[in-house]
């Protein structure tokens, strides 16, 4: 951890507990800041309070009183708290700096950073890069939106490490000087517009991943995504494209049925085990990032030929009663579900539905050609039912994902694919996509141990 005198003996307000707030509060306390943590939930619902107060950190629960700003010189904001929050808007009026903990992690990390963002594929790519950097000169540490808080990892990281961070637009929006050594921008799709307010502001948040990069840094980007390819031209970083369509000697690409990086053959496509054309894109991006961060060809190829996926991200659950079952609960938007559907040629029973963000699903229509039955649940049940009826697809309505899993097996046959790929966020019925995916997995496990009526 690098010293950070900027916060020593300064009043810092950590807004929102959860994992990122807890990690930021602990780190700031170690750095000598006078820390106050504020959370909107009642004290009884915040189990972290006692542990923080034992360290001498003040905790204010049950609301966001504006008087907390009177002595505050810096705010570390939980990424999930919108900028429309009254305390945040008042802080902006007072010109109080507002960061997410990713900025704090960057300020104190001794290790170089590989930062990965995009609308889809972040977790798979981050996991791949981390695995590809094993056995390189510097030990990789994985963190960010993938689960482990970046600040917690930054506290322990040294120059002998490299931090591989998955970063959401929520996290990037609250950065100021953040500058990775290698950045990856995978793609851009309309997502989280309810949070950002417009597509332009969403793009602006994503673009912060390269805002401070220089020629000595590397920006890996999709040359196949016209929006991404256009916006990265503003960057001062060395641009490194990847493409499944073009042979790009300065980046990662497909040639002679193999993955290449800068004219060097890395791995034949027929030795890769992870399904899906979109995962080829993730692998190309991962190869480029790993090579630029010091990964070895041997380890990169080992990962490409053995990696079978990440939990909740087109995860192969198993062959259950003759059905191939996949858990893609992470597919929280239409683009992700389209990518999942494109991975299969067999007949599919698709489980979809969730939070209604106001969008329609007509864009999904061309991808439903192999879907024989659509099992729908959640707030978008009615919209998806209308789409299925319009396309002549058998539609089955369910209460939740557990009920949907049971009905999917009832309406499927041997050799079918049973695919949970909701095309919606989970927050109408589940607190996270992981919780939704775990509920699906638990139901499938129960079904696998029961007699199925054909």
Query: 122 among the known binding-site residues?
Result: yes
54 Cβ partners below 8 Å, 6+ apart? none
5 Cβ partners below 8 Å, 6+ apart? none
| Cα of 354 vs its chain's centroid, Å | 18
Q: Is beta strand 182-185 parallel, antiparallel or unpaired with respect to 252-255? A: unpaired
Phi, psi of 237 (to 5 degrees): -70, 165
Residue owning tokens 């990122």: 20
Query: 449 among the known binding-site residues?
Result: no
Query: 120 among the known binding-site residues?
Result: yes
Distance of alpha carbon 384 from alpha carbon 438, whole angstroms:
23
Residue environment code for 93-102, b if the CB has 16+ CB neighbours within 10 A, otherwise e: eeeebbbbbb
Q: Is beta strand 394-397 parallel, antiparallel or unpaired with respect to 323-327? A: unpaired
Query: 214 among the known binding-site residues?
Result: no
Query: 161 among the known binding-site residues?
Result: no
Query: 152 among the known binding-site residues?
Result: no
Name the strands in the sheet holding 218-222, side by side, starting at the edge strand that comes first in the sequence: 139-144, 161-166, 112-117, 182-185, 218-222, 238-242, 252-255, 258-261, 264-268
Query: 297 among the known binding-site residues?
Result: no
Q: Which residues fall in the annotated binding site?
A: 118-124
Q: Which residues fall in the annotated binding site for ATP?
A: 118-124
């Amino acid at each position: 951890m690098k010293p950070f005198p900027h916060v020593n003996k300064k009043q810092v307000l950590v807004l929102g507990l959860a994992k990122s707030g807890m990690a930021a509060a602990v780190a700031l306390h170690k750095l000598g800041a006078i820390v106050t943590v504020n959370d909107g939930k009642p004290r009884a619902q915040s189990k972290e309070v006692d542990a923080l107060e034992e360290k001498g950190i003040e905790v204010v629960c049950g609301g966001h009183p504006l008087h907390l700003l009177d002595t505050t010189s810096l705010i570390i904001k939980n990424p999930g708290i919108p900028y429309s929050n009254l305390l945040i808007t008042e802080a902006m009026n007072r010109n109080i700096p507002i960061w997410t903990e990713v900025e704090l992690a960057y300020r104190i990390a001794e290790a170089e950073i590989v930062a990965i963002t995009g609308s889809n594929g972040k977790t798979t790519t981050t996991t791949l890069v981390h695995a590809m950097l094993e056995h390189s000169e510097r030990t990789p540490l994985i963190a960010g939106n993938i689960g482990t808080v970046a600040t917690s990892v930054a506290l322990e990281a040294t120059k002998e490490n490299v931090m591989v961070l998955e970063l959401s637009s929520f996290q990037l929006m609250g950065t100021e000087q953040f500058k990775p050594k290698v950045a990856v921008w995978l793609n851009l799709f309309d997502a989280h517009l309810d949070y950002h307010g417009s597509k332009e502001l969403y793009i602006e948040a994503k673009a912060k991943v390269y805002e401070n990069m220089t020629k000595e840094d590397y920006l890996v980007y999709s040359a196949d995504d016209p929006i991404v390819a256009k916006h990265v031209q503003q960057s001062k970083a060395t641009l490194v494209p990847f493409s499944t369509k073009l042979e790009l000697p300065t980046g990662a690409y497909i040639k002679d049925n193999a993955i290449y990086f800068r004219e060097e053959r890395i791995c034949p496509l027929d030795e890769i085990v992870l399904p899906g054309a979109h995962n080829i894109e993730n692998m190309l991006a991962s190869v480029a990032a790993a090579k630029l961060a010091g990964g070895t060809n041997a380890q990169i190829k080992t990962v490409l030929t053995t990696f079978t996926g990440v939990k909740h991200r087109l995860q192969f659950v198993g062959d259950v009663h003759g059905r191939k079952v996949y858990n893609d609960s992470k597919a929280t938007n239409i683009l992700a579900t389209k990518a999942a559907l494109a991975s299969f040629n067999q007949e599919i029973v698709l489980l979809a539905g969730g939070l209604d963000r106001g969008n329609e699903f007509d864009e999904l229509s061309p991808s439903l050609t192999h879907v024989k039955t659509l099992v729908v649940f959640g707030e978008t049940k009615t919209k998806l039912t209308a789409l299925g009826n319009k396309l002549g697809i058998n539609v089955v309505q369910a209460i939740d994902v557990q009920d949907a899993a049971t009905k999917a097996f009832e309406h499927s046959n041997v050799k079918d694919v049973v695919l949970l790929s909701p095309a919606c966020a989970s927050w109408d019925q589940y607190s996270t996509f992981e919780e939704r995916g775990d509920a699906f997995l638990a139901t499938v496990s129960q079904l696998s141990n029961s007699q199925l009526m054909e």
